[in-house]
Amino acid sequence: MCKVYHVYFSTPPNVKPGKDYLVDHSILFYLMAPNGNFVDAFEKIFSKDEVYTKVHSYMTEWAWGKS
């Protein structure tokens, strides 16, 4: 699944079983269409207003049956 969505993660090399550790990973989220298809991805560089505008636009299209 990580390869399909180009998600990165890395576990530290010397982690002992049962011990806590930090995971280095991608910081983004995906918008999926009502039919389950990928629509867009948003990285941390996008402001909340940019995300809102794009998501609202997609939702309006879906409400009007354009995609």
Mean pLDDT, range 21-29, rounded to an integer: 81
Distance CA 38, CA 32 (A): 5
How many residues are present in the chain?
A: 67
Q: What is the pLDDT of residue 56?
A: 96
Task: Write down the domain spans for the chain.
Answer: 9-14+21-63
Give the predicted TM-score (pTM) of the model.
0.62
Q: How confident is the model at residue 65 (pLDDT cuts 50, 70, 90)?
A: confident
Distance between CA atoms of residues 41 and 54, nearest Å: 10
Tokens of 18: 């049962």
Q: Is the pLDDT of residue 47 over 90?
A: yes
Annotated binding site for Cu cation: 25
Binding site, annotated residues: 25
In angstroms, what is the C-alpha Rg of the chain? Answer: 17
